């Protein structure tokens, strides 16, 4: 029997009060870690996927939508622009690199991106096996696509019209694409993309438009849905109609967006405005758009963070009350221990251990809760958005939270223990009742 054991026995004998303090603490710690990790993971995911893209040029519409669709591949594109825009911008002295992308099809929810060979170098990835797709109908898979779909070199796949899996778009049944390469894993968006030369998309879609009967387009012309169409969609329709009017004469080559990196910082100030003012296309800056977005969503996470801090405050208070009550209610017990030969310091230890025990348990439980929460959240995100995100520097968060907690709790324990130092054993013992 020693002081530590006694502290454990004391804590377990007051299960209700102990577990209430523990659960409150665990809840706040769990929330704090959870929010912090979600924030960090999403932020990391964003930063990671900028991939040196300074500007995106696409059809006019919402700049945020353009950035989301062409940099993060999570929203629908705003529309298409002509291939000429690509060649013009490529020649511009301020641009270092311009990579065109063409969206419109998916394979099991993984987007098929028509692009050039430079696309992979944006994400600093190289082929893990196989070769680059140089001919139409050849595709290179991102690492996650290959792994999740169990595809390997030489496999043939059908693209599906649209950007989401199981969408009621037409399958390009007659066009088989062949897997010729697989990229190395990067942890970036390219892992969940299927890349192919621009010509593949053109081939698929020109035939579609020549048929003129794809579901995709029917959907757009559905009169019942007309009233819900946003400006972008209408614009898209206009654009497509324009395209239809041209189709009889020449095939106008189109792309969805251009991913641009600047040669020169001056370009950041001048080029987007220039493009927006003088061409029919729109330039959007990913960093600027994402900052705007996180500022808005930040309010939500900040609120949750404040709630977590408030719960932390309450839990700390409950620990204080728990300890203070212990000392008040057990003053006779503590006095008795003094007559048994316990020093003041040993009584302080007893109460301190109890506080530390509750705190440690709460902390561990909180970490466990946050881990469970995070893994559920990450699985949901992975399944729904095909984004693989992981915890980042979790240990730093844990250390941070632990340090804050250690500081707060030691102050609480000190305050709660104050009565011990003022304890008058003789008085307590002579007022037995």
Partner 1 sequence: MQICCVKTHKVISTENLQFSYPNGGVQLRFPDISLDKGEELLILGKSGIGKTTLLHLLAGLLKPDSGFIKINDTTTQSLSNRKMDRFRGENIGIVFQRMHTIPSLTVIETLKLRLYLAKKKKPYTHLDTILKQLNLSTHKNHRVTELSTGQLQRLGIACAVIHSPSLILADEPTSSLDDDHCNQSIELLKSQAKQSQSNLIIITHDTRITAAFDTIITL
Answer for which of 42, 153, 336, 392 binds partner 1 (CB under 8 A) is 336
Helix (H, G, I), strand (E, B) or coil at 214: coil
CB of 423 to partner 1, least distance (A): 11
Answer for which of 10, 106, 143, 148 binds partner 1 (CB under 8 A) is 10
The C-alpha angle with vertex 116 and arms to 111 and 117, in degrees rounded to 5, equals 105
Closer by beta carbon to partner 1, 193 or else 358 = 358
Query: In the chain, what is the greatest distance between 2 CA atoms, to the nearest angstrom?
Result: 109
Residues facing residue 282 across a β-bridge: 58
**Choices 1-9, 122-130, 193-201, 281-289; region in contact with partner 1 by CB under 8 A:** 1-9
Answer for which of 337, 358, 394, 417 binds partner 1 (CB under 8 A) is 337
Regarding 16 and contact with partner 1 (CB under 8 A), the answer is: no
Regarding 425 and contact with partner 1 (CB under 8 A), the answer is: yes
Regarding 338 and contact with partner 1 (CB under 8 A), the answer is: yes
- Enter the DSSP assignment of 69: I
Dihedrals φ, ψ of 173, to 5°?
A: -55, -40
As given in the structure block, the two tokens for residue 346 are 């040993």
Regarding 430 and contact with partner 1 (CB under 8 A), the answer is: yes
Answer for which of 83, 288, 332, 385 binds partner 1 (CB under 8 A) is 332
Element (H, E) at 251: none
With beta carbons less than 8 A apart as the criterion, state whether 69 and 90 touch.
no
**Choices 115-123, 161-169, 301-309, 342-350; region in contact with partner 1 by CB under 8 A:** 342-350
Strands 110-115 and 193-197: parallel
CB of 11 to partner 1, least distance (A): 8
- Enter the DSSP assignment of 280: S
List % helix, strand, coil for the chain (3-state, nearest 5): 60, 15, 20
As given in the structure block, the two tokens for residue 263 are 């040669």
Regarding 342 and contact with partner 1 (CB under 8 A), the answer is: yes
Regarding 333 and contact with partner 1 (CB under 8 A), the answer is: yes
Regarding 6 and contact with partner 1 (CB under 8 A), the answer is: yes
Half-sphere exposure of 365 (CA within 13 A, CB side): 16
**Choices 5-13, 140-148, 155-163, 232-240; region in contact with partner 1 by CB under 8 A:** 5-13
Helix (H, G, I), strand (E, B) or coil at 322: helix
With beta carbons less than 8 A apart as the criterion, state whether 332 and 429 touch.
yes
**Choices 53-61, 309-317, 328-336, 375-383; region in contact with partner 1 by CB under 8 A:** 328-336
Answer for which of 92, 344, 385, 410 binds partner 1 (CB under 8 A) is 344
CB of 381 to partner 1, least distance (A): 46
Contact set with partner 1 (CB under 8 A): 1-2, 6, 9-10, 12-13, 332-333, 336-346, 425-426, 429-430, 432
């Amino acid at each position: 029997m020693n002081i530590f054991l006694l502290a454990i026995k004391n804590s377990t004998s007051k299960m209700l009060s102990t577990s209430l303090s523990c659960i409150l603490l665990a809840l706040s710690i769990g929330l704090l870690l959870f929010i912090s990790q979600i924030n960090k993971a999403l932020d990391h995911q964003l930063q990671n996927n900028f991939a040196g893209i300074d500007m995106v040029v696409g059809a006019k519409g919402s700049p945020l939508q353009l950035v989301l669709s062409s940099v993060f591949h999570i929203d629908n594109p705003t529309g298409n622009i002509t291939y000429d825009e690509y060649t013009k911008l490529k020649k511009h002295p301020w641009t270092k690199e311009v990579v065109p992308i063409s969206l419109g099809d998916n394979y099991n929810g993984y987007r098929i991106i028509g692009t050039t060979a430079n696309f992979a170098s944006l994400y600093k990835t190289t082929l893990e096996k196989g070769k680059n797709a140089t001919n139409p109908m050849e595709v290179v898979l991102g690492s996650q696509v290959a792994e999740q779909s169990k595809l390997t070199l030489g496999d043939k796949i059908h693209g599906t019209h649209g950007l989401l899996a199981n969408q009621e778009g037409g399958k390009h049944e007659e066009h088989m694409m062949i897997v010729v390469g697989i990229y190395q894993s990067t942890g970036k968006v390219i892992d969940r993309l299927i890349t192919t030369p621009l010509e593949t998309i053109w081939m698929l879609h020109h035939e579609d438009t020549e048929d003129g009967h794809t579901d995709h387009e029917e959907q757009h012309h559905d009169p019942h849905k007309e009233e819900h169409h946003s400006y972008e969609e209408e614009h898209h329709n206009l654009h497509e109609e324009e395209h239809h009017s041209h189709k009889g004469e020449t095939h106008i080559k189109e792309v969805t967006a251009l991913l641009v990196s600047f040669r020169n910082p001056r370009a950041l100030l001048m080029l987007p405005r220039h493009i927006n003012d003088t061409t029919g296309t729109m330039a959007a800056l990913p960093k600027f758009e994402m900052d705007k977005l996180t500022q808005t969503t930040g309010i939500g996470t900040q609120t949750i963070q404040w709630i977590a801090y408030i719960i932390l405050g309450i839990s700390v208070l409950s620990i204080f009350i728990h300890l203070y009550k212990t000392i008040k209610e057990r003053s006779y017990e503590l006095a008795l221990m003094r007559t048994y030969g316990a020093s003041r310091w040993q009584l302080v230890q007893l109460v301190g251990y109890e506080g530390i025990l509750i705190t440690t348990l709460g902390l561990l439980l909180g970490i466990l809760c946050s881990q469970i929460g995070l893994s559920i959240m990450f699985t949901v995100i992975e399944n729904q958005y095909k984004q693989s995100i992981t915890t980042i520097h979790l240990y730093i968060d844990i250390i941070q939270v632990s340090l804050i907690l250690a500081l707060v709790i030691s102050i609480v324990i000190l305050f709660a223990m104050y009565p011990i130092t003022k304890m008058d054993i003789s008085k307590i013992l002579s007022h037995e009742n």
